[in-house]
Amino acid sequence: MAKPKKYLTKSKDKVFLGVFGGIADYFGLDETLVRVIGILIFVFTGFFPLGVFYLLAALVIPEYNGNKTNNDDNIVNGEFREK
């Protein structure tokens, strides 16, 4: 059986837009550690590069919808038989 695909989504436990939490969930890392590293990079790079990346990621990454392995709402579960 194939391993289900993992999708990057915003975190359900948002601090600010959920981007760092979503990245931590995707890679299986501690959310606090990723947030602290992100804030340090944000401060030490002069706010510009990571700030733009963060805002773009907040616009592009989909919201968490309760299903971490598949965000496709168009999938029909069940068995199909030919007549």
Would you say residue 6 lies in a domain?
Answer: no
Given the structure tokens 């959310």, which residue do they identify?
31
Q: In angstroms, how far is the first alpha carbon of the chain from the final one?
A: 27
Whether this model's pTM surpasses 0.85: no
Q: What is the CA radius of gyration of the chain?
A: 17
CA–CA distance, 9 with 64 (Å, rounded to integer): 5
Q: Which domain holds residue 30?
A: 19-60
Q: Is the pLDDT of residue 4 over 90?
A: no
Weakest mean pLDDT among 3-7, 12-16, 47-51, 78-82: 78-82
Would you say residue 31 lies in a domain?
Answer: yes
Check residue 40 and give its pLDDT: 92
Would you say residue 9 lies in a domain?
Answer: no
Would you say residue 7 lies in a domain?
Answer: no
Would you say residue 76 lies in a domain?
Answer: no
Would you say residue 4 lies in a domain?
Answer: no
Would you say residue 42 lies in a domain?
Answer: yes
Domain total in the chain: 1
